[in-house]
């Protein structure tokens, strides 16, 4: 037994200085990696990087630095790393192919969090869905619809597709089309609409409201109305204006025609 222990000691003795040095470098490097990761996180926080992206990048940088540290220490101790790195690269390639969709979503999440085409709380229309952004995650973005449905959209498709952001600008244009009968007076109808616009304090005076005849339809003369308002007032003005125009037209005996069909029956 004593012979075996001595033999083992004789075998590992040449490696002891490298092992001790490697452990010291590992301990010091581990601390430095943590300090560097915290410093980078602090810089990102001062630069107002999105919290979700900041947390993910902090974790990714920390893991990457520690993996590089371990590879460096093992290499310093005399362990051949060429075969190990080759196996690691092959495994990474296989995992990358298996997770191709997830990696695409991850890259999309990083792009969204970096360039901020929208943020949490914005109302958007994307990938055929409309809703308010509840959360932007690394792989998915979560929308909440007005009727309280949760929609989960992969970030890969979201970052590569068109997105309509209704919350970016402070002001929006509200468009209407009101039809009146061919026997009704156009100036009177326009006067009623303009009076309603002037009465509503939420409607902005600049840009100036637009009220013009836009089409002579099959059964109606169509008047296009365009007004500007603050984004938060958009839907209230939309619904109130439609209701108020209908009531005002009724009071002033201006008809709102609807398509009709005349059927003539012949006796054979």
- Residue 1's pLDDT is 46
Do 152 and 125 lie in a common domain? yes
Percent of the chain with pLDDT over 90: 39
Domains contained in the chain, number: 3
DSSP string across 133-176: EEEE-SSEEEEE-TT--EEEEEHHHHHHS-EEESSSSSEEEEEE
Q: What is the pLDDT of residues 112-153, one digit of tens each?
A: 877 888 888 899 999 999 999 988 877 889 999 989 999 999
* Euclidean distance between CA atoms 238 and 97, whole angstroms: 49
- Cα-atom radius of gyration of the chain, to the nearest Å? 34
Distances (CA, A) of 2 to 6, 11, 13, 16, 203: 6, 14, 16, 20, 96
Going by pLDDT thresholds of 50, 70 and 90, the confidence category of residue 90 is: low
* Euclidean distance between CA atoms 16 and 61, whole angstroms: 31
Domain span at 230:
171-251
Q: What is the pLDDT of residues 41-52, one digit of tens each?
A: 888 888 777 666
Q: 94: helix, coil or strand? A: helix
- Picking from 146, 165, 184, the residue at the C-terminal end of a domain is 165
Do 127 and 149 lie in a common domain? yes
Q: 259: helix, coil or strand? A: coil
pTM value is: 0.60
Inside any domain, residue 257? no
Do 224 and 238 lie in a common domain? yes
Highest-pLDDT range among 15-24, 99-108, 231-240, 255-264? 231-240
Inside any domain, residue 198? yes
Using the 8-state DSSP alphabet, how is residue 219 labeled?
S
Q: What is the edge-to-edge ordering of all strands in the sheet holding 123-126?
A: 150-154, 140-144, 129-136, 123-126, 163-165
Going by pLDDT thresholds of 50, 70 and 90, the confidence category of residue 21 is: confident
Do 92 and 152 lie in a common domain? no
């Amino acid at each position: 037994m004593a012979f075996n222990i001595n033999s083992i000691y004789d075998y590992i003795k040449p490696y002891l200085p490298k092992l001790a040095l490697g452990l010291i470098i590992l301990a010091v490097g581990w601390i430095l990696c943590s300090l560097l990761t915290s410093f980078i996180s602090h810089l990102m926080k001062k630069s107002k990087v999105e919290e979700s992206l900041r947390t993910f990048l902090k974790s990714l940088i920390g893991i990457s630095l520690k993996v590089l540290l371990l590879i460096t220490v093992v290499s310093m101790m005399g362990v051949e790393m060429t075969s190990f790195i080759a196996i690691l690269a092959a495994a990474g390639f296989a995992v990358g192919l298996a997770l191709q969709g997830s990696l695409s979503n991850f890259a999309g999440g990083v792009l969204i969090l970096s360039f901020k085409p929208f943020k949490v709380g914005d109302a958007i229309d994307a990938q055929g869905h409309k809703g308010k952004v509840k959360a932007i995650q690394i792989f998915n973005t979560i929308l909440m619809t007005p009727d309280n449905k949760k929609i989960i959209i992969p970030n890969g498709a979201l970052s590569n597709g068109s997105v309509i952001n209704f919350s970016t600008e402070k002001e929006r244009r509200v468009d209407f089309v009101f039809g009146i009968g061919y026997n009704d007076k156009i100036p009177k109808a326009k006067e009623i609409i303009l009076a309603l616009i002037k009465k509503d304090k939420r409607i902005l005076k600049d840009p100036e409201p637009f009220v013009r005849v836009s089409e002579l339809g099959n059964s109606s003369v169509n008047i296009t109305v365009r007004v500007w308002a603050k984004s938060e007032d958009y839907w209230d003005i939309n619904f109130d204006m439609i209701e108020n125009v209908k009531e005002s037209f009724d009071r002033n005996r201006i008809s709102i025609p609807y398509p009709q069909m005349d059927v003539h029956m012949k006796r054979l």
